[in-house]
Structure 1
Amino acid sequence: MKDIARQGMSIKVESMDLLNSQIKMEAHASATYLAMASWCDQNGFFTSAKFFRKQSEEEREHMMKIFDFLIDAGGSPFSPEVTGINHDYASIVDVFESTLDHEIAVTKSIHNIVMKAREVGDIATERFLDWFVMEQVEEENTIRDILDMISVTGTEGVGLQVIDDHVGNWMD
């Protein structure tokens, strides 16, 4: 019976498996950004803490968007177990550099799923991921802009407060 159900899915099994991995990646990102919010709060970066709380919520929304797509496509989404969350950062620069590294990894993962969907002829999954492709352009750009602002401002003296205040400019 299980094989018959899988044959009736509109989503290709290869796409479903990769999307389930992406669900886990989005859940991990949500938890990571919440940990970053906590670090920022504990270290006096209150605007950055709000920024990362918002990022955490957005990542959970991304996870649920994929989860719901899998259900709609007849697939089987999995609720991921999230472990290995870092709570320690050396500085606010470390927090944002870690964020950029993560966003680049997410972009690569999304691109990989798009390419696999294209390879196996899963047009619905490929079209679904168009939004995610453009979202990643925006996410990476935002973090690069913040890192550029940090570079210009510097991290000495009041520069740290200026950084935290200016992070609010990237919260829509």
Structure 2
Amino acid sequence: MSETIVITPITAEGFAPFGDLLDCAGAPDKLINQGKCGRYHDRASLDFTDGRAGLSLFKAELRRLPLTLDMMERHPQGSQAFIPMSHDAFVVICAEDAGNRPGKPRAYLTEPGQAINFHRNTWHGVLTPISGSGLFAVVDRIGAGENLEEHWFDTAYQVVEG
């Protein structure tokens, strides 16, 4: 019998152990472009062991809830930022490390206009858009060497709406 994980709204504080919540909350750090553009400066901690930061585009299929979670992955050599290219929410699944395997997963729902950056070596689920285009800009490590570890659960979890 699978265990249920209930999706909760994402907050910067709740997501902090796993990464950075990227949004335009609060006042901008400064105004630029003749005062017509607010700059929310340096919102993600990009972290790479070597290589360089690269910008890629991901086109993911939309998912339906409930979602079966049978695998999580992590990237030991670099952080990974997911920036939706439509004004739509998406589901973020992550877990603390429990002896080189994921602990109990947590699931968050972003608000439209939010993005996330996973810290290096953070266990996370696959890209999970639930509405919109499924198109994301992704900033992650480009370089030699293996940067992907997967863990398959013996018993899948069911991720459900909160």
Per the shorter chain, which TM-score range?
Answer: under 0.3
What is the TM-score with the length of structure 2 in the denominator?
0.25
TM-score when normalising by structure 1: 0.24
More strand by share: 2
**Larger-Rg structure:** 1
Instruction: Compare relative contact order (CA 8 Å, sep 6+) and give the higher one, 1 or 2.
Output: 2
